[in-house]
Chain A
Amino acid sequence: MKKLLLLTVLSILFVLGACSSQEKADLVVTSFTDELQEPINKFEELHDVNVDLQIIPTENYTTTLRPALESGEGAPDVFTGEIVYLKDWIEQDYWANLSTDPYNVDAWEDDYMDYVWDLGKNSAGEVRAVSWQTTPGGIYYRRSIAEEVLGTDDPDEVGEMFSTMDGLMDVGEKMKEHNYRLFPDEGSIQPYTNGQDPQPWVNENNELVMTEARLSYFDYAKELRDKQYTALAPAWSPAWYESFVGPISYNVGWDELDEDAEDADKTEVFAVSLPTWGLNSVLKEEAEETSGDWAVTNGPTPYFQGGTWIGMYKDSENKDLAWEFIQMLVHDEEFLTEWVTETTGDVLSYLPVTTKISEDFSEEYLGGQNHYKFFLEEAQKIDASTITKYDQQIGELFGTEVGNYVEGNVTKEEALEEFYNQVENAFPEVTVPE
């Protein structure tokens, strides 16, 4: 009996010993991409420390990290958050309050793009997270096709044509005449459906806000489909990626398709709505072949999509080092200049650097265009006050129902009713119209 007990105890000790024998890092950073690896390498060099970057894939990020933040067990020192749940997280006691001593980040406010700064602030006005980037969106288009069909590939002139929804439809018609499609799918116009007078999805009385501009998304999306301005390649599908490289199969089987035309079952996509990061992580990654043939310009309204904020865990034991790291990442002119110009090309929200580099930026992939300046101007137009924690989920539910209407599965009224039901079901605290 005693021997058995001894054996058990020994084996438990052995297992425990094996677990804790790993070398302990000086700082643990958790994020959902590897984009912080570069800054971390630099930081390790500068401070002679050992930083452990833990990457949790986006789809598991909240479910994996949140329990750790809730309980404090296994929480990292520094962690990032996406716009999708940022508004939820800054209201929780996860990130440390950076507005207090010794950080006093409020003094930095003027150095940042307004909406980026405002989104890191919770309802009590405390800054919980900051960001180095800004992620406004635009419409990327193929220069060669623009030249052929519209007679110009100049971003300003094309932007002028794109500046209203009806303008977009006109370009769509011209594209179709030359067997091109304006967009890969109808979802490409969703960013512009907040209209010229953007309203939050849920107002301060917890009511769902439906506007004329939003309702018009049904009609414009239907028009895009019915008039065959899209290539029927849904966002993030293999066909969607393919459409940035060259012609894709387009076999709708409609009677009016000319059987004799050689390329009747092929079509090429002209443009796509993507934010700043779409350039690096979508186009450059997936469409090397068309490098140099792209340009970016405005759509009917400004918008932004995505974005990563960073802060430190409120109970971190390495706050000093964590703070050093965050400062370097978001507020170090030298580092940020180098990082942006030499590696990422990310559009920064830190104005001292952006004003310096935006004047003579030139992007080879975009045919030498200074997209940096364009995106900075777009970012200035974004108003953080209409952004709510519901935006992502409600936007997706809305997009799905518009899709059902476009496919002809349901009528507009049915789609709208189902949308309201879905919102009520997902967010019982929100009251829906009618």
Chain B
Amino acid sequence: MAKNNRRAYLFIAPFVIVFLIFNIYPIFLTFYYSLTNYSGMGGIANAEFVGISNYVRLVTDTYFYEAFLNTIQIWGFNFVVQMLIALGLALLFSDIRLKLRGVSIFRALFYLPNIITIASVALLFNILLDWNHGALNQMLLSLGLIDSPINWLNSPAYAQSAVALIGAWMWFGNSFIILLAGISGISRDYYEAALIDGANWWKSFTNITLPQLKPILLYVLITSIIGGLQLFDLPMLLTDTRGAPQGSLNTMVLYLYNQAFRYNNFGYGATLAYGLFIITVIFSAITFRTMYRREVR
């Protein structure tokens, strides 16, 4: 028994060692950075220890709160649109009365945007959304839908919506596949019974599909929140890398990145990382609590 235990330790050793070196050590080092005014240059030993002053700055930093709100707004809009499309399509393709063909082809097609690298997507939309020369404005103008071109990436509302919608376009295929799998897992018996009882489409959707789908919806929600809070690449690459227009694309991680690597405020960047960590913990706790409560019931 004891021998087996030792052998087991040997097997988990590679993971534990890597985890300690690349995860635990940086986490503690980052905390130490957050208590200094380290600039990333000249060695941490020469940095000044400033106590909790970085944390005092964090809780009074309006740019941080703005970044938090931006992140939530973009993620929220993105999630609603993405789920509406994904759920709608999943229902359509799983409907026993419609019996749509070619599900596997559409599944692949819907997933395609997700395999394009974000850098390419950002460049693509940057060109499409260009004020005077972009295809979108040219199209809207020639259709007569607008009288003068809209400067999409110069308006905070449009820019945030653009990021949210691009995100939704990239991720609805992923959600669609998961939701479709979830719906396929629901027993047909329920629907047949409902049909016999005279339930219409809406009744079976709200009383059978949605309740049965809840665990899957929660899973999609949690993974989306975790990804959404880390929103960085698209907002960075779509405009000036500093969150233009007017700071509306300045997400939490982008703010952290710019503080640490653009302005060389490593200490404060580390503090922002801890701020982000605390927010992520709070959000995860809320979602886990919700999920736990469902299971008890």
Binding site for B on A (CB under 8 A): 1, 4, 62-63, 66, 70, 88-89, 92-93, 231-233, 237-239, 242, 248-254, 393, 396-397, 400, 404, 407, 409-410, 425-428
Which chain B residues in 206-263 approach chain A with CB under 8 Å?
240, 242, 244-246, 258-259, 261-263
Q: Does B181 contact A (CB under 8 A)?
A: no
Alpha-carbon distance A4/B4, docked complex (angstroms): 13
Q: Is the CB of B137 within 8 A of A251?
A: yes
CB of B45 to closest CB in A, whole Å: 11
Known contacts A239-B130, A242-B133, A409-B246, A428 near B42 by CB under 8 Å:
no
Segment among B85-93, B110-118, B148-156, B195-203 that sits at the interface with chain A: B148-156
In this complex, the member of B132, B148, B151, B244 whose beta carbon has the largest number of chain A beta carbons within 10 angstroms is B132
Alpha-carbon distance A232/B150, docked complex (angstroms): 13
Q: Does B265 contact A (CB under 8 A)?
A: yes
How many contacts A-B (CB < 8 Å)? 80
Known contacts A88-B264, A425-B63, A232 near B131 by CB under 8 Å:
yes
Residues of chain B lying within 8 A (CB to CB) of residue A253: 141, 147-149
Residues of chain B lying within 8 A (CB to CB) of residue A66: 40-41
Given contact pairs A233-B133, A396-B242, A407-B151, enumerate 19 new A-B contacts (beta carbons under 8 Å): A66-B40, A70-B41, A70-B42, A70-B43, A88-B41, A88-B264, A248-B133, A249-B132, A249-B138, A250-B132, A252-B132, A393-B263, A404-B246, A409-B154, A410-B246, A425-B61, A427-B263, A428-B265, A428-B268
6 cross-chain CB contacts under 8 A:
A4-B10, A250-B132, A251-B137, A253-B149, A409-B155, A426-B263
Which chain B residues in 252-297 approach chain A with CB under 8 Å?
258-259, 261-265, 268
Q: Is the CB of B41 within 8 A of A92?
A: yes
Binding site for A on B (CB under 8 A): 3, 7, 10, 40-43, 57, 61, 63, 126-127, 130-133, 137-138, 141, 147-149, 151, 154-155, 240, 242, 244-246, 258-259, 261-265, 268
Known contacts A63-B261, A70-B43, A409-B154, A252 near B130 by CB under 8 Å:
no
Which chain B residue has the least Cβ–Cβ distance from A239?
B133
Which chain A residue has the least Cβ–Cβ distance from B156?
A409
Residues of chain B lying within 8 A (CB to CB) of residue A426: 258-259, 262-263, 265
* Secondary structure call for the B interface: loop
Alpha-carbon distance A88/B262, docked complex (angstroms): 12
Which chain A residue has the least Cβ–Cβ distance from B6?
A1
CB of A248 to closest CB in B, whole Å: 6
Residues of chain A lying within 8 A (CB to CB) of residue B268: 428
Residues of chain B lying within 8 A (CB to CB) of residue A251: 132, 137-138, 141, 149
Q: Is the CB of A400 within 8 A of B240?
A: yes
CB of B139 to closest CB in A, whole Å: 12
CB of A89 to closest CB in B, whole Å: 8
Alpha-carbon distance A63/B148, docked complex (angstroms): 42
Residues of chain A lying within 8 A (CB to CB) of residue B151: 407
Known contacts A92-B42, A428-B265, A249 near B133 by CB under 8 Å:
yes
CB of B66 to closest CB in A, whole Å: 11
Q: Is the CB of B261 within 8 A of A239?
A: no
CB of A94 to closest CB in B, whole Å: 9
Q: Is the CB of A400 within 8 A of B147?
A: no
CB of A200 to closest CB in B, whole Å: 18
Q: Is the CB of A254 within 8 A of B130?
A: no
Alpha-carbon distance A426/B245, docked complex (angstroms): 17
Q: Is the CB of B149 within 8 A of A238?
A: no
Residues of chain B lying within 8 A (CB to CB) of residue A239: 130, 132-133
CB of A170 to closest CB in B, whole Å: 25
**Cross-interface CB contact of B245 among A4, A242, A249, A409, cutoff 8 Å:** A409
CB of B49 to closest CB in A, whole Å: 16
Q: Is the CB of A400 within 8 A of B149?
A: no
CB of A273 to closest CB in B, whole Å: 19
